[in-house]
């Protein structure tokens, strides 16, 4: 007796992922019927496994969709097959319409993948908030991703583009501000610091989860250094370093980051030239002591000029963070490039090498991540035009940089970070 029509055939007689089910036709034969639950699984985090009225397909997910394959984080749009990749966010100052000067300029966050593939659409911060940076102040624009990976943060000025001499303005007339940007491009610029960094540059900011910030910069008096401010509560910000009474240096600070639950900053001002830790773990919220990482004040043939930094725990035999990468914006002949420092016995740091193969100048912004047994580093350069570049520290003597993006006329790149996700 023939099986009733619609009876599915045994599993060995089915074709997985064809969006069809083989079944009896009731007359001793077989037929195919639509089965949109029999999706074509291609094993790619960056495609959909889709059946549409019996037709299988694997369309690409939107650029920037979260993924976790091959150590990546976000999906790209690489042709012909999208893949899980690392997307970088970098600060773009200017819109190309005129020469960059001390007058404040527009700010946006642009995106590119670590292999040079185009990232998602740029986030126009100045168009979404009253926010700008000096067009010519090269020390500004440090970018940092939150420890929980959900945001990138940038410090600037609560001033419309076109504001004259914004970096030397009084903070009582031009508030210093924090811009927090999430993966969707939503901007929160509600954190205004009326009393901080007066008369000079605000430069860097970092955060754990976007609910509070550690901000760095300089001042013409005693309001520079490092400040702590909860989201939207800049009026209640606390100054951690930089006061004159009691004296608590450093007051002139560049970029910042949180690694291993510890706050780190860079400075070009003696005696804190190089990299320093601030307070103890977790990052402090009140008056704190900065400690220069021993050894980082000396490198190359003259005084170091450090900006971005990133630290890793790479050596199982050394407890805690043991490898420091530091961007230096001097010429490559005088120590500029990405310096690699290793922690030695007794807590002293020693310069291992400086990556500069393919660079025409030093660098300022810096980010990085571990990939297998290597470390991939991305930086923004200090030359004109500025660039976003990447290099892989794979243990070879002089790995070459690749260029991922190049600034056009009247535009400059500042900080760089892994994109939020």
CATH architecture, range 69-418 = 6 Propeller (2.120)
When the pLDDT of each residue in the chain is averaged and rounded to a whole number, the result is: 96
The share of the chain scoring above pLDDT 70, in percent, equals 100
pLDDT at 334: 93
pLDDT score of 302 more than 80: no
pLDDT at 347: 87
pLDDT at 299: 76
Where in the chain do CATH 2.120.10.80 domains reside? 69-418
Place of tokens 């209640």: 236
- Place 245 in a pLDDT band, splitting at 50, 70 and 90: confident
pLDDT at 78: 83
pLDDT at 79: 78
Q: Is residue 202 within 8 Å of 192, Cβ to Cβ?
A: no
- Cα 296 from Cα 290, distance rounded (Å): 14
Give how far the C-alpha of residue 399 lies from the chain's centroid of Cα atoms, to the nearest Å: 22
The share of the chain scoring above pLDDT 90, in percent, equals 92
Q: Is residue 411 within 8 Å of 92, Cβ to Cβ?
A: yes
Q: Which three-class secondary structure state does DSSP give residue 88?
A: strand
Secondary structure letter of residue 377 according to DSSP:
E
Q: What is the mean pLDDT of residues 293-299?
A: 88
Do the bridges between strand 212-217 and strand 225-230 make them parallel or antiparallel, or are there none, so unpaired? Answer: antiparallel
Q: Which residues contact 1 (CB under 8 A, 6 or more apart)?
A: none
pLDDT score of 120 more than 60: yes
Secondary structure letter of residue 420 according to DSSP:
P
Do the bridges between strand 349-355 and strand 212-217 make them parallel or antiparallel, or are there none, so unpaired? Answer: unpaired
**Cis peptide bond prior to 175, omega within 30° of 0:** no
At residue 220, what are phi and psi to the nearest 5 degrees? -85, 0
- Place 138 in a pLDDT band, splitting at 50, 70 and 90: very high
Residues 248-285: tens digit of each pLDDT: 999 999 999 999 999 999 999 989 999 999 999 999 99
pLDDT at 54: 97
Annotate 132-168 with three-state secondary structure.
EEECCCCCCCCEEECCCCCEEEEEEECCCCCCCCHHH
Q: Which residues contact 99 (CB under 8 A, 6 or more apart)?
A: 135, 410
- Place 2 in a pLDDT band, splitting at 50, 70 and 90: confident
Residues 352-406: tens digit of each pLDDT: 999 999 999 999 999 999 999 999 999 999 999 999 999 999 999 999 999 999 9
- Cα 26 from Cα 6, distance rounded (Å): 7
Q: 413: which 2 tokens?
A: 């790149």
Do the bridges between strand 84-85 and strand 87-93 make them parallel or antiparallel, or are there none, so unpaired? Answer: unpaired
Q: Is residue 390 within 8 Å of 375, Cβ to Cβ?
A: no
- Cα 143 from Cα 108, distance rounded (Å): 12
Burial of 173 (0-12, 13-18, 19+ CB in 10 A): exposed
- Cα 175 from Cα 381, distance rounded (Å): 28
pTM (two decimals):
0.94
Residues 155-199: tens digit of each pLDDT: 999 999 999 999 999 999 999 999 999 999 999 999 999 899 999
Question: From start to end of 302-357, where are the E strands?
Answer: 306-312, 323-328, 337-343, 349-355
Place of tokens 């910069």: 217
Q: What is the mean pLDDT of residues 63-91?
A: 94
Q: Which residues contact 333 (CB under 8 A, 6 or more apart)?
A: none
- Place 121 in a pLDDT band, splitting at 50, 70 and 90: very high
């Amino acid at each position: 007796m023939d099986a009733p029509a619609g009876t599915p055939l045994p599993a060995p007689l089915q074709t997985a992922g064809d969006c069809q089910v083989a079944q009896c036709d009731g007359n001793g034969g077989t037929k195919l019927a639509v089965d949109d639950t029999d999706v074509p699984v291609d094993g790619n985090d960056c495609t959909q496994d889709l059946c549409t009225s019996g037709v299988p397909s694997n369309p690409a997910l939107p650029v920037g969709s979260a993924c976790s394959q091959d150590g990546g984080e976000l999906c790209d749009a690489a042709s012909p097959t999208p893949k899980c990749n690392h997307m970088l966010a970098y600060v773009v100052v200017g819109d190309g319409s005129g020469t960059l000067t001390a007058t404040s300029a527009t700010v946006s966050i642009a995106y590119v993948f670590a292999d040079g593939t185009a990232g998602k659409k740029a986030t126009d911060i100045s168009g979404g908030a009253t926010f700008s940076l000096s067009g010519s102040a090269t020390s500004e624009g440090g970018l940092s991703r939150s420890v929980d990976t959900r945001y990138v943060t940038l410090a600037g000025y609560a001033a419309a583009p076109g504001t004259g001499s914004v970096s030397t303005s009084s903070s009582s007339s031009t508030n210093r501000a924090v811009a927090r940007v999430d993966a969707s491009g939503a901007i929160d610029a509600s954190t205004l610091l009326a009393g901080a960094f007066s008369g000079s540059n605000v430069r860097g900011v970092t955060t754990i989860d976007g609910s509070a910030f550690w901000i760095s910069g300089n001042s013409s008096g005693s309001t520079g250094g490092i400040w702590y401010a909860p989201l939207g509560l800049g009026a209640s910000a606390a100054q951690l370093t930089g006061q004159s009474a009691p004296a608590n240096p450093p007051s002139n600070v560049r970029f910042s980051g949180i690694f291993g639950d510890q706050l780190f900053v860079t400075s070009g001002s003696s005696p804190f030239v190089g990299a320093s830790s601030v307070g103890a773990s977790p990052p402090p919220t009140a008056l704190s002591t900065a400690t220069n990482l021993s050894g980082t004040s000396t490198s190359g043939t003259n005084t170091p000029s450090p900006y971005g930094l990133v630290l890793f725990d790479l050596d199982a035999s050394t407890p805690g963070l043991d490898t420091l990468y530091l961007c230096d914006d001097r010429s490559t002949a005088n120590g500029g490039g990405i310096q690699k420092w290793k922690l030695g016995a007794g807590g002293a740091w020693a310069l291992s090498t400086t990556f500069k193969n393919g660079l025409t100048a030093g660098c300022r912004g810096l980010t990085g991540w571990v990939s297998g047994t290597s470390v991939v580093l991305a930086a923004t350069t200090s030359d004109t035009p500025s660039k976003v570049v990447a290099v892989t520290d794979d243990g070879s003597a002089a790995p070459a940089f690749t260029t991922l993006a190049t600034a056009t006329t009247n535009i400059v790149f500042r900080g760089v970070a892994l994109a939020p996700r």
